[in-house]
Structure 1
């Protein structure tokens, strides 16, 4: 797929002025586009619309603009199963991914169902009328004062992602207010930030920092990654092959995509299971790979020796070892320790060298980048109620990783953390489509997840990683259970089997009625 300019603002509007739909999807990012495709191909007679709060589609890939932004999973599984990623590199750059999303939405007419600048504020379910009423903020530029619009839907699918678009994760950095240079969070990267020949300090050691460092090092005088504790980093090949492989010569494009997708899926699953089953062996293997790429002046311990086992948190990927490459030429460096104070022109830190001797050093800085994580948030901060009773997600169990306990006709679409996020997103979309088909066939107007009487569920973590941004937000997230349809999802293969052949009705309470389809379909 050829890349094109993605800087211009897309001005999408719905071809219909109706605000009543069978299904409303919230969010026009990757998950929303995927849900729309599954819906319009599997239930083409249903009307639907996508409400998008921003002025463009693309979600994360339109929001994030920091240098070097790219996927942290291969695009053969991170991309759509039904629209092959046909660039030769498995790790895609942000601009190419955004272009892929836009072209895909246009190709299938999904972009014509998008209502831009529509932010969901509240959603209320009426059991008497078996319908959702959505209060939506109209943020159109020509609207003058912001006004609310009322939408109605039989079913709502939340594809708003998992983090707050407006606030990053708050991290206490002593003395940061005294810094006289520029402070930047990658989530809100200034369009014209000039870091040429500047001293740049990136606070953090996760995927964002690992992505930023190589690009910043190309222009900055010196770029330093300041970390309290390191992450696991894995170098993977991401070259554009000059010659097609023998598989590319033999297989059709469709079969080649299926082969690549299955290969990456199985390989990533194997790596995850190996790391969890044999953490010591996995740690040794990762260490060998890192030590081969390190410059002589940077020892593995303490700079690349995490305190946790592999895949207790996500493993950071560095395509073609670009992170390690920039450490060799002296334009980038890594410091491990704790921040004592931020002063006007830098950061005073307590550093640990290879002999674990603590010493105070000053890192000069013109720009400080706080790559300290994202603030988790479901449903884009919208509020929900059922017959006037507020829904508190953290008090609810999560049915099959797709619906909230005691909340009718509402799906929250989230993906996996141990493998490609999109695999989980698609499993959820297909599960909801199957549920909608069952409801239509049996003339059921609503489905509500219920914990069966007499069953005592033991709460479990929704996400199976221990990253700081996840543990901080756990008290605000729905709960997984230890049995039945309430267990957390981690395995795409078993989830896919369940979507196709499992007992979807288990754990659901149905109300007979008109069915999901509106009495008069919106034009």
Structure 2
């Protein structure tokens, strides 16, 4: 019999027990719930989310122009065709996620405005006890679960990262972080300085350039940009031929994966060639007087940080039309009317937008304990980047840096469902990753190798994250090309997962 609502325990009506508890109703949590319902329709399930509605990032980010930085054929789920343009707005993505929820009846399992504050594992009881605060009233609830699936994302939604600059208090204009964009902010005729040059800045600048008097992108160091069509030519051709949408979705999905695999390969094996390709692709789209080496040639190698996508080259168009410009310098101080740079130049500003990134949230800032002992994730070793030594019956979704997040979320869903089925077959109520004797002395490295990927939000928080080893399955791979074959074939009985 399919259960549409979780049952309450007989021991305590105030405690709700479910077979699987998912934390987060963004793209990871919705996907996890779909896969679990498909594979185990008789298992009880609840999805808890702290926000007022589904979508995670796409719900909280409401700054002008907010859109995807990945193509939707791979950022969308493999099980639901994407029918829109390759690069989509947040509204389009939220609509797509809403369709997944409604078409599969997932709304029966999602509890909004339920913030998880603590999770404690009991080996004796073989379950997690999860403490939750509900809504604005702060009502405290308790859930228990046999398996905890962390899909809460990787950064704090309630605050962004803003460096401390001298003189900010005396600035006479508005200082705004994109994560906290005021609904009533009017930029018409304003001089706007956007600090930062990552994906957020690249999204925001063309969206406000037409209304603002001028937008200046102020960056400490350059970023690689890649202009590409908002809609892939192949998608246009296939749809013109009335090819079924699920075929189009799969063909475009494979095309984007192959393209990104090749760029990733070249960036690793021939970084100078990749650099030349990216710079030369930017050159004809920029104003002829722009110093490309100064403003668009980063010191890091291609793909050591994320390449910012510009649909139809929109930010470059704003620069060619004189509506936006770029300055590469460091900030000496804010003044009453703008920002004075280390070079002595002063940028006049009515509004300063701090597109300076976000703060990493280590496992949702939830207080974890195992058998009464607090968990320090920095002292754990990851199992394939999705489980951790010493933490039983817990899985964690952390997507790809270069490929779309959802590609890994789907792979992890497959793995977790396979693991749950394997536990059932073995009659096991508990599984925990554990180093084998031959693994005990292996070298440990950071969650992410900075030589591979080193954006600021990771560098600031790496000391809080789990470690990885130098061999499988204690590594955290970051490339879909490797994991798409490795994860489905992972041996669940190789001695690294201990069942009880």
Bucket of the pairwise TM-score, normalised by the shorter protein: over 0.9
1:37-52 maps to which residues of 2 (within 5 A)? 37-52=34-49
**How far did residue 190 of structure 1 move?**
0.8
Give deviations 1:225-260, integer Å, cap 9, x for gaps: 001101000000114879951575264322221111
> Which residue is equivalent to 1:505?
493
Match of 1:473 among 450, 455, 461: 461
> How far apart are 1:174 and its partner, in Å?
2.0
Q: Which one is further off, 492-501 or 32-41?
A: 492-501
Q: Which runs of 5+ in 1 are unaligned?
A: 1-13, 351-358, 513-523
Once residues 127 and 236 of structure 2 are traced to their aligned partners in structure 1, the CA distance between those partners, rounded to angstroms, is: 53
Alpha-carbon spacing, 1:304–1:457, altered in 2? closer, same or farther (3 Å): same
> Is 1:252 matched with 2:244?
yes
User: Which of these residues, 254, 257, 263, is aligned with residue 255 of structure 2?
Assistant: 263
The superposition leaves residues 186-208 of structure 1 with CA deviations (integer Å, 9 ceiling, x where unpaired) of: 01111111111101000001111
Verify: 1:460 aligned to 2:456, yes or no: no
Q: Distance in 1 between matches of 2:236 and 2:157?
A: 40
Separation (CA, whole Å) in 2 of partners of 1:487 and 1:98: 33
Residue of structure 1 equivalent to 2:298: 306
Is 1:345 equivalent to 2:337 in the alignment?
A: yes
Q: Distance in 1 between matches of 2:483 and 2:232?
A: 33
- What is the count of residue pairs matched by the alignment? 486
**Structure 2 partner of 1:10:** none
Counterpart CA distance in 2 for 1:20 and 1:295 is 61
Summarize the Cα distance change of 1:104–1:243 in structure 2 as closer, same or farther, 3 Å threshold.
closer
RMSD: 1.8
d(CA) in 2 for partners of 1:496, 1:184:
40
Shift of 1:215: 0.8
- Is the 2:434–2:498 Cα contact (8 Å) retained in structure 1? no
SS state of the match for residue 441, structure 1?
helix
Task: Give 1:353's aligned residue.
Answer: none
Q: Return the offset for 1:492.
A: 2.0
Counterpart residue number, 1:4:
none
Alignment deviations for residues 447-479 of structure 1 (CA, whole Å, 9 cap, x no partner): 100111242232233234111111111011111
1:286 is matched with which residue? 278
Aligned partners of 2:405, 2:238: CA distance in 1, in Å?
Answer: 30
Q: Distance in 2 between matches of 1:191 and 1:301?
A: 37
Structure 2 spans left out of the alignment, 5+ residues: 9-15
2:118 to 115, 122, 125: 122
Is 1:329 aligned to residue 321 of structure 2?
A: yes
CA contact (8 A) 2:436 2:496 kept: no
Check the 8 A contact 1:461/1:488 in 2, yes or no. Answer: no
Q: Distance in 1 between matches of 2:227 and 2:234?
A: 21
Q: What does residue 110 of structure 1 align with?
A: 106
> 1:165-188, CA deviations, whole angstroms, 9 ceiling, x for partnerless residues?
122224122221221211100011
Inter-partner Cα distance in structure 1 for 2:315 and 2:149: 38
1:192 corresponds to: 184
- By how many angstroms is 1:15 displaced? 5.0
**CA distance 1:386–1:339, shift in 2 (3 Å):** same
